[in-house]
Amino acid sequence: MDSADDIAITPVDRAIERLRTIYRGWTRETSVAQMRDDWDAAFAGCSVPVTCQPVSAGEVDGEWLVPTDAPHDKVILYFHGGGFRIGSVASHRDLAARIADASGCRVLSINYRLAPEHRFPAALDDALIAYRYLREQGLHPADIAFAGDSAGGNLVLCTVLAARDRGLPLPAAGALMSPWTDLTASGASYQSRAEADPIHQRAMILALARNYLGKDGDVSNPLASPLYADLSRLPPLLVQVGDRETVRDDATELAARAKAAGVDVKLQVWDGMIHVFQMFPEIPQAREAIASLAAFLRNHLHIGHQRAPQ
């Protein structure tokens, strides 16, 4: 018989412990390379039936994740999270694959360059290269959508902003999970959610920002902190965030400012959820969130009937 303590442990609690197990193994002496390897190993695998195929997207390494019977003329370009410091196609394969599976759409996930070896704007440059690669394959911008989590959500916005400012055609839509939009970490949620968030505290966020930008970098640069950008003329956006996150206001304020700028934006705040909870398939709300995200992308990519997420 399960004890009362066992019964009280929720899927979110188990996800938090998975994260803490990783972080507990890191010290000041742990190299960035080791952190990246640990992160990839912790989230390795793929829980849904998609075909995974390495690709060179221009000058950027990536991976195609292709569900059965996916249309050849529709693509979701995926940008992984990790604070621009860790994360990869490998660590986010399962999340990207579940999005591919739920949407019935091909996903191109890329390994953009990471800091501190490659500081801003290297990641943004790579995202733009991948977007150009897809267009050079004959895909129309209206048949391409962007999706990303955390720092990858930042890249969704910044890639669209850079494309707009350069006069390039824009993708059909953007889906953002727990987007990191404000590298100044000025949101009130950094205080109001400090106790509720098990991992991401303001000092850590500011350290990641310095790592990405360099000590003399401008944290309010709109192509690094898209919260401060002119958000007009962006494609439709879906923004998902957990209510327990210190970066909650990065999402809610972004949605408010985008709406004020005339953008078609949908905000979903998930009660009791942590940063990028969608990475954890054992959390029921993760499946619900991915189903909602898939429906949004299918609608804007004009793909037929939505599949049930696994």
pLDDT at 305: 53
pLDDT at 304: 81
pLDDT at 8: 83
Q: 216-240: per-residue pLDDT in tens?
A: 999 999 999 999 999 999 999 999 9
The parts of the chain modelled with pLDDT lower than 50 are 1-4, 306, 308
Structure tokens at 228: 């401060």
Give the C-alpha separation, 89 to 33, whole Å.
Answer: 15
How far from the centroid of its chain's Cα atoms is residue 195's Cα?
Answer: 23
| Domains in the chain with CATH codes | 11-19+51-301 (3.40.50.1820)
Q: 50-90: per-residue pLDDT in tens?
A: 999 999 999 899 999 999 999 999 999 999 999 999 999 99
Residues in the chain: 310
Please list the active-site residues. Answer: 150
Task: Pick left, alpha or beta for residue 208 (phi over 0 → left; psi -120 to 50 → alpha; otherwise beta).
Answer: alpha
pLDDT at 1: 42
Helix (H, G, I), strand (E, B) or coil at 166: coil
How far from the centroid of its chain's Cα atoms is residue 263's Cα?
Answer: 20
Give the C-alpha separation, 234 to 152, whole Å.
Answer: 17
Quote the pTM value: 0.95
pLDDT at 309: 53
